[in-house]
Structure 1
């Protein structure tokens, strides 16, 4: 019996895991504090001026409790801090500390090198086509009936 072809969500998940594994291993090898994929995702979802935990959760596609847990571990690592939200007395903003900003810049630089490795392996045309395809507007997710 032949193995069924992997669908696009499976392929995209595997590609994301490849990047995550390369980034986290490279950062650990460089002597940075180890973080999880979920904790790294917090940095990708942060605005420069700060972001609420609720907004982080929405952007990350996780529950507020999951985002809150990741944020508080990173606060304990002194990579994030909480500040008052000037727009709402009830809200707190999460933003990187100087150390968190330094680590995030290093991670961004590391990702650029990892993308370069991918370009060497599959070619610039393939990477450019992949970027174009993934940034093309897809519209709202469709609601389809099961066949």
Structure 2
């Protein structure tokens, strides 16, 4: 991971890209179909019973069109499917197929292995400190006065 980024948001972004690069490359090396960052984000935000495109967009923080494109790519790969929402005849739920669940579980295992490599490189205490800081309650985003 490079250290060109001087501020925390950039460092966090570089850390995320480091993980994604490792996970995506490892999954492809294991013979899995390549996915994009947007497609991986869809998987991370899906509820077990399914989630609407609108809700996925809200959770990920992107437009419905962006999620729609990612979802349809994953449907084409056989990893997701659309199903009627029992709570509304107008909505469709996006959910994983059995193949999608298999790939998602494999990706979760790979993430654990990549985290173990990181712990070897920076120490378990460092990984634990990062996890503790990122899972702490930061409260609402502050509104600060720009200098």
Superposed pair shares fold, TM > 0.5: yes
Q: CA–CA distance in 1 between the matches of 2:108 and 2:50? A: 18
- Within 5 Å, give how 1:80-95 maps onto structure 2: 80-95=80-95
- Spell out the pairing of 1:112-127 with structure 2 (5 A cutoff): 112-127=112-127
Does the CA-based 8 Å contact 2:26-2:110 persist in structure 1?
yes
In structure 1, the partner of 2:109 is: 109
Query: Which residue number in structure 1 is paired with residue 60 of structure 2?
Result: 60
- Whole-angstrom CA distance in 2 between matches of 1:128 and 1:119: 9
**Alpha-carbon distance between aligned partners in 2 of 1:22 and 1:38, rounded to the nearest angstrom:** 16
CA-CA distance at 1:88 after TM superposition: 1.0
Structure 1 residue ranges, 4+ long, deviating more than 4 angstroms after superposition: none
SS in 2 for 1:49: coil
Structure 1 unaligned regions, length at least 5: none
- Aligned in 2, Cα 1:32/1:5: closer, same or farther, shift over 3 Å? closer
**2-structure distance, mates of 1:103, 1:124:** 27
- 2:40 is paired with a residue whose SS is helix
Q: How many residues align?
A: 144
Instruction: Tell me how far 1:79 sits from its aligned partner.
Output: 0.5
Q: Does the 8 A contact of 2:84 with 2:93 survive in 1?
A: yes
Q: 1:71 to 1:115 in 2, by over 3 A?
A: same
Unpaired stretches in structure 2, ≥5 consecutive residues: none
Q: Deviations over 1:81-139 (max 9, x none)?
A: 00010111111000000000000000000000000000000001111111000000011
SS in 1 for 2:35: coil
Query: 1:16-47 deviations in whole A, cap 9, x for unaligned?
Result: 00000000000000000111111111100100
**Post-superposition CA distance 1:53-83 (Å, at most 9, x none):** 0011111111010000100111111100000
